[in-house]
Structure 1
Amino acid sequence: MTSDNKPTVVGALACQRDSFLFKGFETEVVSCNENKSKDKPKYEIELKDTILFPEGGGQPSDSGFLKIVKTDGEDELIPVPFISRKGLHAMHHVDVEIQPGTKVEVIVDELKRVDYMQQHSGQHLLSAILETSDFNAKTVGWSMGGIPTSKKPILEPSDYFNYIEIDRKLSVEDITRASKIVNDIISMKPLPISVVERTPDMQDGVDSSKVPEDYDLEKGILRTIHIGEIDSNPCCGTHLNSTSQIESILILPNQTSVRGTNSRLYFMCGNRVRDYAQQTNEIISTVKSLLSCNESSIDEKITKLKEQVHQSGKREQFWIKELASYETAKIMNSLNKNGKAYLLKDEFGSLEFLLQVFKELSPQLKIFDKPYQIVLCGREGVQTGNPVGSLIILSESGETIANISKKLSALLANMKGGGGKNGGKWQGKITKFTDIEWEALTIHLEKFNTE
């Protein structure tokens, strides 16, 4: 469905001409078509013009709302979670069908827009400084951080760092120097940020190699973003009006090597720097409290803790082997009497311990010349309220193992495992191991051992 109104092309959208226009923008629906993609909202809507930026140029899509003013009731507010670009067209993805010709007011998520502009304008400034003769580091790509995904909907503080990929690795001294220069341009010597819209007759001499193939420059607009006299680059994104609005930039000294000699340099700008400082301060405060020390002693405390954990681990391994040997002797004594044995270990019955018992038993079972049935079971997490368990069934007979596992599965609702079809070892886990089930298993195995 379409109307006769001709939509504004991407490149000359209202959001690109005035990036600080967040609400009160009235326009008209030009087309509304059903979206066949299953992972996106039901409809694609194009407006005559829009202040919602479509994804592009390394900048994520805006989000916001379309408000339909109704004279006979409450206004309808329709969420717009995503705006995409199709050639020259900005498509608004919504779950509500809106008839072409409908008047709407467009509202932008202001906090998100300002955040994206701070990161994007900050990237332009950082890249411009690094490409000067002082550094000779060319930006070959960039990625904006802080974007939740279906795989990672909740982000860590470090996920909010952006990166630029440059064609060489910088020294720590280079990064310190670049950081000072960039922050000086932000806070002490701010420069204006301006946009030039270039029609086809104004595009000569401008590098358009990064313009998407589906964007027709003969009908569209080639935009260049200018930072004072120090930078001029083609870009479709929304930008700030001055470097002072970037507020600050934090560049990490550590880099990641990629694609041979290239390097990723991590940074964040503006409100993210403040938020990151607050979050890391909370983390440091918590660590100080847990370790009972000040900031300067955290490294020393953690190093000592690592050494203690390492020593504790070695002691635990020693006593696991000692206890496994003791339990193995008890099991073999029981086997020699009636061919059956079991081991139950509550709270500290880890799979590691059961496997150590199995390791001790294996050479002795190889020379055991009678039928045998062994059940090893342990439980952990009782004190934390999340009890789970491990289970091992041993026999020379696959049929015997199948019978035992069948009986135990009737007692343990959350038991899963497998193996031992031809005899040997069946191994499984109990993902939720209640006290009632533990008691029932104990009674069953006591009977099992005396039958």
Structure 2
Amino acid sequence: MTVKLFENNSLLRSCEAVVTACAEKNGLYLVELDQTVFFPEGGGQLSDRGKLGGVDVVHVSEKDGHIYHECTEPLSVGAKVQAVLDWPVRLDRMQQHLGEHILSYACWKLFEANNIGFHMNEDMVTIDLDKELTEEELLKAELYTNEIIWDNRPVSVDYMDSSEAVKLKDKMRKFNSKLTGILRIVSVQDADICTCCGTHPPFTGMLGSVKVIRHEKHKGGCRVEFLCGKRALLDADKKNSVLLQVAAGLSTKPELVPEHLAKLKADWQAELDAAKSKLLAAAEKELHNAYEAAPQRADGLKVVAMPLEGCDAKDIKYLLPKAAALVDSVTILAAAKPERISYAVVLGNAAQGDCRGVIKLLNDAFGGRGGGKSDCAQGGSDYCEDWLEKLHTVARQAAAV
């Protein structure tokens, strides 16, 4: 069994160890040691990285009591090696993990929201809460968390039997009654207490700060994304740089960017609406021209093909009542925008027929999906370059019925 030096001294950066086993697997070498400072991935925390005798350790895992250091080169059994952590990586892992403890505690303490999920990767950290919190509530939890950090409170690790640990359950935000035997308890002074196998800084001040990035509804509660320590600082630096660039481009102050963008959006939308109004007015005129020029079937029904380039399903919806007012007609409308074709078939005033037959022709031609009723049917497909040709082919097929 490997002695886990990291469990009682999270600041220990290196140690001398003896290689007890080495086996090749998937191009890497699983090295076991008599003792280690490397934390194996587990409990939501990513593993440490570093070097063993100058050989890169890219990942560390634990299975059935064995700790495997995944190395890029083999090491001889019996060899003494220096195990050296990649300290910035270890510090980052500890900051994110303890940040999760304290932020979860804040959400539980202030709003009775329980952490039911914890996820950490190289870019972000999330917790899943069983209760949906508002933006204002999360800001309060964030401030409460950072006040604990700035107090630089001690973080302690204790081992106790489950029969003793159960006496603390009223002080713990979560207690697993199924755990038995000796438990590892991580405590933040006058704050979070929970069972945990991970590494944590000995004082909260080593976190620096915790910043909530975003949140969203998730399974009846909410998922909160946050960053701690150096990650939080780099994220803030990046976003501040972007904000300053946007402000400079808009010739305004950073704090006025939202107001300035809202005005630009409103002006742009007004121009877009005016242009769309002109486009639809022209399309309506074109519809009448297409109706006048449309071929007439033996039963007196006119088949009208109406292409709408640069338009979408909303524009078709606008023209549907216009097409329905055309006497003794069946109108096929096709709107084409990059990546999407929308189409519809509508019977005109006093017309007899079934639009579902024509929508089937369109579905077959475009490889799309659609349906509807006898007097009106709609569908759509992915964009295709020959959409106009397919529209007229379907119109000819409908006219030949």
User: What is the TM-score with the length of structure 1 in the denominator?
Assistant: 0.60
Q: Among 40, 52, 60, which residue is 2:45 paired with?
A: 60
Q: Among 244, 252, 255, which residue is 1:296 paired with?
A: 255
Superposed displacement of residue 307, structure 1: 3.1
Q: Does the alignment pair 1:377 with 2:334?
A: yes
Q: Among 300, 318, 329, which residue is 1:356 paired with?
A: 318
**1:84-123 superposed matches below 5 A:** 89=65, 110-123=87-100
Q: Which residue does 2:144 correspond to in 1?
A: 178
Structure 2 residues without counterparts, runs of 5 or longer: 348-352
Look up the equivalent residue of 2:157 and give its one-letter code.
V
Q: Which residue does 1:333 correspond to in 2?
A: 292
In the aligned structure 1, how far is the partner of 2:115 from the partner of 2:256? 39
Q: 1:251, 1:268 within 8 Å by CA — same for their partners in 2?
A: yes
Q: Which residue does 1:210 correspond to in 2?
A: 175
Q: 2:16, 2:82 within 8 Å by CA — same for their partners in 1?
A: yes
Structure 1 residues without counterparts, runs of 5 or longer: 1-6, 35-40, 70-74, 149-154, 382-386, 410-414
Structure 1 21/314 Cα, relative in aligned 2: closer, same or farther at 3 Å? same
Q: Percent identity?
A: 16
Q: Among 207, 229, 242, which residue is 1:283 paired with?
A: 242
Superposed displacement of residue 238, structure 1: 0.6
Q: Which residue does 1:241 correspond to in 2?
A: 202
State the secondary structure of the residue aligned to 2:47. Answer: coil
- Deviation per CA, 1:292-348, whole angstroms, max 9, x where unpaired? 3211322321332343355346545644553343233123213365634322343x2
Superposed displacement of residue 417, structure 1: 3.3
Q: 2:307, 2:335 within 8 Å by CA — same for their partners in 1?
A: yes
Look up the equivalent residue of 1:379 and give its one-letter code.
A
Q: 1:375, 1:394 within 8 Å by CA — same for their partners in 2?
A: yes
Superposed displacement of residue 118, structure 1: 1.1
**1:11-410 superposed matches below 5 A:** 13-21=4-12, 26=17, 51-56=38-43, 59-62=44-47, 64=49, 79-80=58-59, 83=61, 89=65, 110-124=87-101, 140-141=114-115, 144=118, 147=121, 160=125, 178=144, 181-185=147-151, 190-198=152-160, 205-207=167-169, 210-211=175-176, 213=178, 215-217=179-181, 221-227=182-188, 233-250=194-211, 268-312=227-271, 314-315=273-274, 318-319=277-278, 321-335=280-294, 337=296, 339-346=302-309, 348-364=310-326, 368=328, 374-381=331-338, 388-392=340-344, 396=353, 408=365
- Deviation per CA, 1:154-182, whole angstroms, max 9, x where unpaired? x6xxx656588899998799669736733
**1:411-450 superposed matches below 5 A:** 415-419=367-371, 425=377, 427-433=379-385, 437=386
Structure 1 204/296 Cα, relative in aligned 2: closer, same or farther at 3 Å? closer
In the aligned structure 2, how far is the partner of 1:44 from the partner of 1:276? 35
Structure 1 31/198 Cα, relative in aligned 2: closer, same or farther at 3 Å? farther
State the secondary structure of the residue aligned to 1:120. Answer: helix
- Deviation per CA, 1:269-292, whole angstroms, max 9, x where unpaired? 211220221122133134324533
Look up the equivalent residue of 1:269 and give its one-letter code.
C
In the aligned structure 2, how far is the partner of 1:389 from the partner of 1:105? 64
Look up the equivalent residue of 1:53 and give its one-letter code.
P
Larger strand proportion of the pair: 2
In the aligned structure 2, how far is the partner of 1:23 from the partner of 1:343? 75
Q: 2:305, 2:391 within 8 Å by CA — same for their partners in 1?
A: no
Q: 1:63, 1:83 within 8 Å by CA — same for their partners in 2?
A: no
Superposed displacement of residue 353, structure 1: 2.2
Look up the equivalent residue of 1:181 and give its one-letter code.
E
State the secondary structure of the residue aligned to 2:40. Answer: coil
Look up the equivalent residue of 2:39 and give its one-letter code.
L
Q: 1:166, 1:265 within 8 Å by CA — same for their partners in 2?
A: no
- Deviation per CA, 1:403-434, whole angstroms, max 9, x where unpaired? 6765x55xxxxx4334479785463323343x
Quote the RMSD (CA, aligned, Å). 5.6
Superposed displacement of residue 117, structure 1: 1.0
Bigger drift between 241-250 and 316-325 goes to 316-325
In the aligned structure 1, how far is the partner of 2:223 from the partner of 2:396? 65
In the aligned structure 2, how far is the partner of 1:266 from the partner of 1:239? 20
Structure 1 327/112 Cα, relative in aligned 2: closer, same or farther at 3 Å? farther
